[in-house]
Structure 1
Amino acid sequence: MLGQLRRIVQDVAQEPSLANALAGLVSNVKNALQTECCSVYLADYQQQQFMLMATDGLNKDAIGKVAIGFSEGLIGWVGQREEPINLAAAHLHPRFKVTPEVSEDCFSAFLGCPIIHHRKVLGVLTIQQSASRVFSEDEESFLVTLGVQLASVLVNAEMRELASQSSPKHVHVGQLQGLIGAPGIAIGQGFVLQPASDFDAISLQKSDDPEKELSRFYRAVKVTKAEFNRLAERMSGHLPPDALAIFDVYHQLLDAASLGNEIEAQIAEGWCAKSSLKRVVEKFARQFDDMDDAYLRERGTDIRDLGQRVLNHLLETEQRHHKLPEHVVLVAENVTATMLAEIPRVQLVAIVSLKGSVNSHAAIMARALGIPAVMGVDELPLMQWQGQQLIVDGYQGNILVSPAEAICHEYRQLMNKDAELNARYQAELHLPGQSACGARFNLMVNSGLAIELETTQSEFTDGVGLYRTEFPFIIRSRFPTEQEQIELYSKVLTGYPDKPVVMRTLDVGGDKPLPYFPISEENPFLGWRGIRLTLDHPEIFLVQIRAMLKANIGNGNLHILLPMISDLAEVDESLRLIKQAWFEVDDEVNQQHVVPKPKVGVMIEVPSIMYQLPELARKVDFCSVGTNDLTQYLLAVDRNNPRVGNLYDALHPSVLRALHQLGQQTHGLQFPASICGELAGEPIGVLILAAMGFNRFSMNHRNLAKIKWLLRRIDLSELKLLLPEILACQSPKQVRLQVQRFLDQKQLLNQLRA
């Protein structure tokens, strides 16, 4: 049964034509369950109806013509209840609607199952039979399981169909919805920096130049055969002749008489080389998978391995021919710091990450660079983005693919308006960071990704509230040496003379892996990351601390911040190692220089440490609240998972109440506290935090001018009157509405974005 389910879903996913996919679906389900009729209806939310899209058993002339309202008939009832409905005599039920066009008078038994994706009903799948009987639990379970698996395949199926029918440069798939990663608007061309080398990422596409596609396929086959020859030669001294015979089999499969002939036929039908390879390999692999003989079933693996190698060479050739667009919209499964380093900053205008969420590492990097980003957009296969004209709307989380020129014109006007607003903020950047009532704020920057950009306005900031030391580690192919780190840290410390620079010790793991120090964990955000990793490797920690201390000689503005602290014992061990490193550096300089002792602080991001603040305040000098991870852990939401990305919200009432309690406690302990998470750089967030009594904020340098401009127009007494209403809210939406209403009353709301 599981094998049948898998094959049915695979057939739907691999068919580029939606009509053909649904026709195959109903026939396969009818045969699998040995029933007399199977039909599928898809939801049309504009018309508020379910349209019959495929059937095997009803009148086929009704396909695409018969529609049933959301509140009508048994189909509408299934959609309303969002659960299976199993009836022995459907025609006797009061919700039964007579529809002569479908010719279902002969059927009595009815089982309908909704197809739901992210709480939205996409359609209804039904089976029917002439005999009056209740379908068995096994049959109902089969249909429910199939509906769940079909949901992710059918979502945005119309977009995929349109994409497959057009060339990559002329595809028109309209608008895609993702999660807001970084605000702003950009227009550019999609560029896939690291294409996925697997068939799941390949969308089926036609080509108008079969000769060119055939030539590309022949070149890939030639390179693949040469690769097999090298492998066979290398392994000849280690494997027996019968084991080496597999390479001969691969050669034969690539010959025209085997797979090659089939692929050539697909190219002749108008499919591009990648699509032809995908269709043929998956067809043959499925045939082997269905065989009873275990030996023959294993040959399906050989077919896939062979196809994978040819695909790799096709993609390599394709990538070499892609020139970097003038305005690059970087598209990847997961955008990394290494990818960003490969694109010239002047050409990078936006980021689209198929995975990730609002506060994933890619989103934070985008905000630091001041470019819009949309996350969790996986409706189109990765390679389909290559070369597309895109509008990335980071305010709404929308992406417009191949937009009309009139739409581009409208968005350019919005971009101009954004630029005007930003110029208004920049005009006041030199003024003090204070409220309208004179309350002083320390406004600092988060740094580490683009030092040159981040230090250009250092005179208008109060220092660096968070320097992320992990970026120099991530973009290298090895751990940086002590001397390399000294040079990096010196540049930052000297860039902010007489102002505090808070350097966070190495914080990798989670969604920030080191390419040369891979960590494989099932739940990395709760695993070996931050201080846990560096305390287990004191040789890494000590070298970094020594480099910081040496860079601080002559500057004296270094503060050290410890990430991912969940236990006081971690603080004690860290302080011991910092003390050891200080003695080592002091001994090394041999009284030639004074080695300042830096202040040491702890990041408040793991909820457990919030309940040990009195003890913590006696051990360290300050704390800094990382709202990104604190929100993630309080809400138990993986911030990198787009499936639950809508649940991640730093304005959740529970998060705000925890921050309020934290602020009251640190104030009572006279324990200096700052906010360095992304919430500190958002207008709504910073107003709420200011109302709570926080007055030290660190944000990306792009937001600094806007936040300073806003705070200079706010009276703290008004904010404090608003705070009880905010803390009484029951949802993030209510919180936003409260603050937006406040800003609107002060005529500030329309001045914060175009």
Structure 2
Amino acid sequence: MLSQLRRIVQDVAQEPVLNKALAGLVSNVKRALNTECCSVYLADYQQHFTLMATDGLNPEAVGSISIGFSEGLIGWVGQREEPINLAQAHLHPRFKVTPEVSEEKFSAFLGCPIIHHRKVLGVLTIQQGENRVFSEDEESFLVTLGVQLASVLVNAEMRQSVSQSSTQQKVTGQLQGLPGAPGIAIGEGYVMEPSSDFDDISLRKTDDPEKELSRFYKAVKITKAEFNRLAERMSAHLPADALAIFDVYHQLLEAASLGDEIEAQIHDGWCAKSALKRVVEKFARQFDDMDDPYLRERGTDIRDLGQRVLNHLLDTEQRHHKLPEKVVLVAENVTATMLAEIPRHQLVAIVSLKGSVNSHAAIMARALGIPAVMGLDELPLFHWQEQLLIVDGYRGQILMAPADAILAEYQTLISEDAQLSAQYLSEIHLPAQSACGGRFSLMVNAGLAIDLETSHPSHTDGIGLYRTEYPFIVRTRFPTEAEQVELYKTVLATQPGKGVVMRTLDVGGDKPLPYFPISEENPFLGWRGIRMTLDHPEIFLVQIRAMLRANIGHGNLHILLPMISDLSEVDEALRLIKQASFEVADELEGSEIQLPKAKVGVMVEVPSIMYQLPELARKVDFCSVGTNDLTQYLLAVDRNNPRVASLYDAMHPAVLRALHQLCLQSQALQFPVSICGELAGEPAGVLILAAMGYDKFSMNNSNLAKIKWLLRRVHLSELQLLLPEILACQSPKQVRQHVQRFLDQKHLLNQLRA
């Protein structure tokens, strides 16, 4: 049963033409369940289910018969979002007679919805002439198939248009993702570090078979040489019969085996990757179906061989791709090292197929002030290469190869955005205060591109969060103490007389070090932040010593400890900081140089520490709220997971109430507190925080001018009147509605976005 399901789904995924894929689907399901009819209906934008394929009903009805979302048994399945199993369907009051489909000979009916992310994509049905209820096994098969088909069918039309495209492989269409960073950009897709799995390869045609043949021959030649090296290396460790597998691989690559088939596919118009995929999967499936266990294992060999050839095809392809003038970086997961490889003036936007609104990639995009869209993994990675893209970071939309009229509209929006930015910047030199004179401290988050992030040092109150992990991430080894000293000196020197809050190394979760891999089942609840560095005092002490040495002559260092969940972690960190201070002071003994005392603070991002604030205030000098992780842990939502992205929201009433309580408690304790999470850089977020009583915010440099401009136009008394309404809300949507209504009444809403 499981192998049948897998085979049916694979066949749908591998067929580039949607109608052919669905036709094969209904025939395979009819055969697998030994039923008389199988049909599939897909939902459209006009709120209809259209018959897309059938094996048993009138084939002329395909594509022409549509059933409303509230009509018939098909509509009922969609409405109830669960299977409907009837022995005599024609007697049911919801049954709708549709003469064109010719289903009068069928009595038994089983319909199952195809659902993706709470959205009904379609309905899969089987029918039988006999009056009977379909068995539990049959129903289970159809339900399981519907679940697996959902991820394959989503964006199926987009996949089809790509496979039918020309040599330039352009595709028009719109994709909906998650808004990662605000703004709009137009550029060309550039895929970095593409995965090399056959599942990511969708079939494409070519107009240049000779070029594709040449690429295939080159990949085969490299693969054969690779096998020769492997065989030579293993000859001293493996017996001759085990080494024979390399001879088998060589034979399979010869023209008489797989080679001829792949060449024929290329001559038929398929590109080299597509031809390789079609042939490898065809032969692998044939071996999988064999009864003999030894022959079945050869299917694995075929796949391994094909994977190696595919890797070399992709390597040569990637090397030939020229960096476009305006780069839209596309990757499975965008990392800091990827960003470092692209000149800043060429990078216009980020598309991360994985990740969510507050994943590390989205935070990096906001730090750079470029739009980003996340969570678009339904479309394979290779489809993005060299595509003209409009990236709408406000709405989380991607437009591929847009028409000229649409392109012109978005260029106008980009121009309007630029005008608004100029409007904000025209007031950046003015004091950070409310319309009634209430003062605020506005600082910047930094670490990714210090020159860009500190471009207005005279108009800010310092660096509220310097993420020290970025210099670690972009290296191939741990930076030395001397390297860290020079780096931290540069950062401290950008803010003379103003505080610089340096967070100690915060890696793990979605920020791995390439030379210090951490593999965990649940990394966000695992060995990250202070937990890792306290377990490795040799790393922690080197970093603290470097910070303290860099602070000599500046005296503006504040040390921030991340991921604190227990007071014992604070005690241990303070002990090590004291030890590092003694070590640096010993180096200065006998000289006239004095070691400045650095303030030490704690990040409030793990909920447990919120309930230990009085004890914390007696141990450290300040605290800084990391709203990104605090939201993640309060709501139990992995912020990188697009499947639960809709649940992650810093405007959630529970998060806002927790922040309000934290502010009241810190004020009662006279314990300095600031906000360094992304919420401080959002217009709605900063207004709510200001209403609560927070007055110290750190944000991305790209947001600072807008936030200062906004705060200068509101009265604190007005915000304080708004606060009870906000805290009484039951959903993030209600919170946003209240803030938008307030901004609209102040005639500010249309001035915050083009």
TM-score category, normalised to shorter length: over 0.9
Identify the residue that residue 739 of structure 1 maps to in structure 2.
739
- Asked if structure 1 preserves the Cα contact closer than 8 Å seen for 2:167 and 2:206, the reply is no
- Opposite residue 281 of structure 1, the aligned amino acid is V
Identify the residue that residue 730 of structure 1 maps to in structure 2.
730
Length, aligned pairs only: 753
**Matches of residues 393-542 of structure 1 in structure 2 within 5 Å?**
393-542=392-541
- Asked if structure 2 preserves the Cα contact closer than 8 Å seen for 1:631 and 1:649, the reply is yes
Q: After the TM superposition, which of the residue ranges 345-354 and 739-748 deviates more from structure 2?
A: 739-748
Identify the residue that residue 43 of structure 2 maps to in structure 1.
43
Work out the CA distance in 2 between the residues paired with 1:689 and 1:169: 50
Identify the residue that residue 283 of structure 2 maps to in structure 1.
284
Question: SS at 1:644's partner residue?
Answer: helix
Structure 1 position 76, deviation (Å): 1.1
Identify the residue that residue 752 of structure 1 maps to in structure 2.
752
- Opposite residue 205 of structure 1, the aligned amino acid is R
Question: SS at 1:651's partner residue?
Answer: coil
Work out the CA distance in 1 between the residues paired with 2:243 and 2:81: 55
- Opposite residue 323 of structure 2, the aligned amino acid is L
Identify the residue that residue 607 of structure 1 maps to in structure 2.
607
Deviation per residue, 1:587-632 (Å, 9 max, x gap)? 0121421111111000000000000001000110100000000000
- Asked if structure 2 preserves the Cα contact closer than 8 Å seen for 1:160 and 1:379, the reply is no
Structure 1 position 69, deviation (Å): 1.5
Structure 1 position 169, deviation (Å): 2.9
Asked whether 1:685 is paired with 2:685, we answer yes
Work out the CA distance in 2 between the residues paired with 1:564 and 1:473: 18
Identify the residue that residue 19 of structure 1 maps to in structure 2.
19
Identify the residue that residue 321 of structure 2 maps to in structure 1.
322
Work out the CA distance in 2 between the residues paired with 1:591 and 1:205: 73
- Opposite residue 473 of structure 1, the aligned amino acid is F
Structure 1 position 649, deviation (Å): 0.6
- Opposite residue 19 of structure 1, the aligned amino acid is N
Structure 1 position 171, deviation (Å): 2.5
- Asked if structure 2 preserves the Cα contact closer than 8 Å seen for 1:168 and 1:386, the reply is no
Work out the CA distance in 2 between the residues paired with 1:296 and 1:641: 40
**Matches of residues 570-649 of structure 1 in structure 2 within 5 Å?**
570-592=569-591, 593-649=593-649
Percent pairwise identity: 82
Question: SS at 2:559's partner residue?
Answer: strand
Structure 1 position 704, deviation (Å): 0.7
Identify the residue that residue 99 of structure 1 maps to in structure 2.
98
- Asked if structure 1 preserves the Cα contact closer than 8 Å seen for 2:444 and 2:454, the reply is no
Identify the residue that residue 714 of structure 1 maps to in structure 2.
714
Asked whether 1:547 is paired with 2:546, we answer yes
Deviation per residue, 1:684-728 (Å, 9 max, x gap)? 000000000000000011111111111111100000000000111
- Opposite residue 341 of structure 2, the aligned amino acid is E
- Asked if structure 2 preserves the Cα contact closer than 8 Å seen for 1:499 and 1:557, the reply is yes
Question: SS at 1:643's partner residue?
Answer: helix
- Asked if structure 1 preserves the Cα contact closer than 8 Å seen for 2:482 and 2:546, the reply is yes
Work out the CA distance in 1 between the residues paired with 2:24 and 2:367: 48
- Asked if structure 1 preserves the Cα contact closer than 8 Å seen for 2:167 and 2:207, the reply is no
- Asked if structure 1 preserves the Cα contact closer than 8 Å seen for 2:167 and 2:205, the reply is no
Asked whether 1:676 is paired with 2:676, we answer yes
Structure 1 position 143, deviation (Å): 0.6
Work out the CA distance in 1 between the residues paired with 2:286 and 2:568: 59
Identify the residue that residue 138 of structure 1 maps to in structure 2.
137
Structure 1 position 167, deviation (Å): 3.3
Give the gaps of 5 or more residues in structure 1: none
Identify the residue that residue 231 of structure 1 maps to in structure 2.
230
Work out the CA distance in 1 between the residues paired with 2:307 and 2:332: 19
Identify the residue that residue 341 of structure 1 maps to in structure 2.
340
- Asked if structure 2 preserves the Cα contact closer than 8 Å seen for 1:188 and 1:389, the reply is yes
Structure 1 position 671, deviation (Å): 0.5
Work out the CA distance in 1 between the residues paired with 2:238 and 2:171: 52
Deviation per residue, 1:223-262 (Å, 9 max, x gap)? 1111111111222222111111111100110111111111
Structure 1 position 415, deviation (Å): 0.8
- Asked if structure 1 preserves the Cα contact closer than 8 Å seen for 2:680 and 2:686, the reply is yes
Question: SS at 1:415's partner residue?
Answer: helix
- Opposite residue 279 of structure 1, the aligned amino acid is R
- Opposite residue 233 of structure 1, the aligned amino acid is E
Structure 1 position 269, deviation (Å): 1.1
- Asked if structure 2 preserves the Cα contact closer than 8 Å seen for 1:168 and 1:388, the reply is no
Work out the CA distance in 2 between the residues paired with 1:167 and 1:480: 48
Identify the residue that residue 67 of structure 1 maps to in structure 2.
66
Identify the residue that residue 108 of structure 2 maps to in structure 1.
109
Work out the CA distance in 1 between the residues paired with 2:323 and 2:312: 20
Work out the CA distance in 1 between the residues paired with 2:688 and 2:455: 29
- Opposite residue 458 of structure 1, the aligned amino acid is P
Identify the residue that residue 667 of structure 2 maps to in structure 1.
667
Identify the residue that residue 355 of structure 1 maps to in structure 2.
354
RMSD, aligned CA = 0.9
Deviation per residue, 1:68-114 (Å, 9 max, x gap)? 12111111111111111111111111111111211111111111111
Structure 1 position 45, deviation (Å): 2.7
- Asked if structure 2 preserves the Cα contact closer than 8 Å seen for 1:351 and 1:374, the reply is yes
Work out the CA distance in 2 between the residues paired with 1:651 and 1:36: 52
- Opposite residue 698 of structure 1, the aligned amino acid is S
Work out the CA distance in 1 between the residues paired with 2:330 and 2:536: 35
Structure 1 position 168, deviation (Å): 6.3
- Opposite residue 589 of structure 2, the aligned amino acid is N
Q: After the TM superposition, which of the residue ranges 197-206 and 364-373 deviates more from structure 2?
A: 197-206
With normalisation by structure 2, the TM-score equals 0.99
Work out the CA distance in 2 between the residues paired with 1:199 and 1:250: 19
Work out the CA distance in 2 between the residues paired with 1:31 and 1:687: 61
- Opposite residue 493 of structure 1, the aligned amino acid is L
Identify the residue that residue 255 of structure 2 maps to in structure 1.
256
- Asked if structure 2 preserves the Cα contact closer than 8 Å seen for 1:170 and 1:402, the reply is no
- Asked if structure 2 preserves the Cα contact closer than 8 Å seen for 1:50 and 1:69, the reply is yes
With normalisation by structure 1, the TM-score equals 0.99
Asked whether 1:181 is paired with 2:143, we answer no
Give the gaps of 5 or more residues in structure 2: none
Work out the CA distance in 2 between the residues paired with 1:45 and 1:416: 32
Question: SS at 1:577's partner residue?
Answer: helix
Work out the CA distance in 2 between the residues paired with 1:62 and 1:377: 34
Asked whether 1:81 is paired with 2:80, we answer yes
Q: After the TM superposition, which of the residue ranges 65-74 and 123-132 deviates more from structure 2?
A: 65-74
Work out the CA distance in 2 between the residues paired with 1:179 and 1:606: 25
Work out the CA distance in 1 between the residues paired with 2:747 and 2:167: 45
Work out the CA distance in 1 between the residues paired with 2:77 and 2:406: 39
Work out the CA distance in 2 between the residues paired with 1:350 and 1:99: 49
